[in-house]
């Protein structure tokens, strides 16, 4: 039951924390990615994931890390976003990676367009004293893409074996 609670809560909680952190500070702590990796390792071992499957998940994470590291080196994405995307890929493996990347791209595009429009208009006086909102409103500030990564991940997560192996009846009948 403990591992079921971890499966149900750890990943979504870390996604929510990363999205909020990126929104308010434009950074994603390395701890988020490290906790995702550690959580994967614990749950993969506890769930009896075979070595071949673990290697496939590591391959997905490595592929995403290679692409996102290149994007980071080119200045197209932040380092926290790159690490978070790779850690998410570790959880999803190749089986759900394309779905995640598609959702993250769509929401990332929508977020970008929304912020471009938001930055065209002056902030109302009431909101102008909020440092995080001023930073988000500034044209030179990047896009908090961790929000799109988190939304994409949260949409895909319920379709993964991590959730499908949870016996929800134990929590409902409780």
How far apart are alpha carbons 106 and 74 in whole angstroms?
A: 21
Report d(CA 81, CA 148) in Å as an integer: 10
110: helix, strand or coil: helix
The residue ranking higher by pLDDT, 45 or 167, is 45
pLDDT for 167 equals 72
* Cβ-based burial of 115 (10 A; exposed 0-12, middle 13-18, buried ≥19): middle
pTM (2 d.p.): 0.92
The pLDDT value given to residue 173: 59
pLDDT of residue 1 exceeding 80, the answer is no
Q: Which residue has the tokens 């434009």?
A: 26
DSSP secondary-structure letter at 126?
G
**96 within 8 A of 159, measured Cβ to Cβ:** yes
pLDDT, position 29: 95
Q: What is the pLDDT of residues 60-108, one digit of tens each?
A: 999 999 999 999 999 999 999 999 999 999 999 999 999 999 999 999 9
The total of structural domains in the chain comes to: 1
Whether residue 174 has pLDDT greater than 60: no
124: domain range? 2-173
Q: What is the 3-state secondary structure (H, E, C) of 128-171?
A: CCCHHHHHHHCCCCCCCCHHHHHHHHHHHHHHCHHHHCCCCHHH
pLDDT in tens, 10-43: 999 999 999 999 999 999 999 999 999 999 999 9
């Amino acid at each position: 039951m403990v591992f079921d609670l971890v499966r149900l809560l750890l990943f979504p909680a870390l996604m929510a924390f990363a999205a909020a952190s990126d929104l308010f500070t434009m950074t994603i702590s390395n701890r988020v990615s490290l906790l995702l990796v550690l959580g994967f390792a614990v749950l993969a071992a506890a769930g009896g994931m075979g070595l071949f499957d673990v290697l496939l998940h590591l391959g997905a994470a490595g592929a995403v890390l290679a692409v996102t590291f290149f994007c980071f080196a080119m200045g197209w994405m932040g380092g926290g976003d790159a690490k978070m995307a790779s850690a998410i890929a570790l959880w999803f493996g190749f089986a759900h990676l394309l779905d995640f990347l598609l959702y993250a791209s769509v929401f990332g595009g929508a977020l970008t367009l929304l912020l471009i429009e938001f930055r065209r208009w002056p902030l109302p006086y009431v909101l102008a004293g909020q440092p995080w909102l001023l930073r988000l409103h500034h044209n030179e500030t990047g896009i908090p893409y961790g929000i799109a990564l988190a939304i994409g991940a949260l949409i895909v997560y319920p379709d993964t074996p991590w959730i499908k192996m949870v016996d929800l009846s134990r929590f409902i009948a409780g």
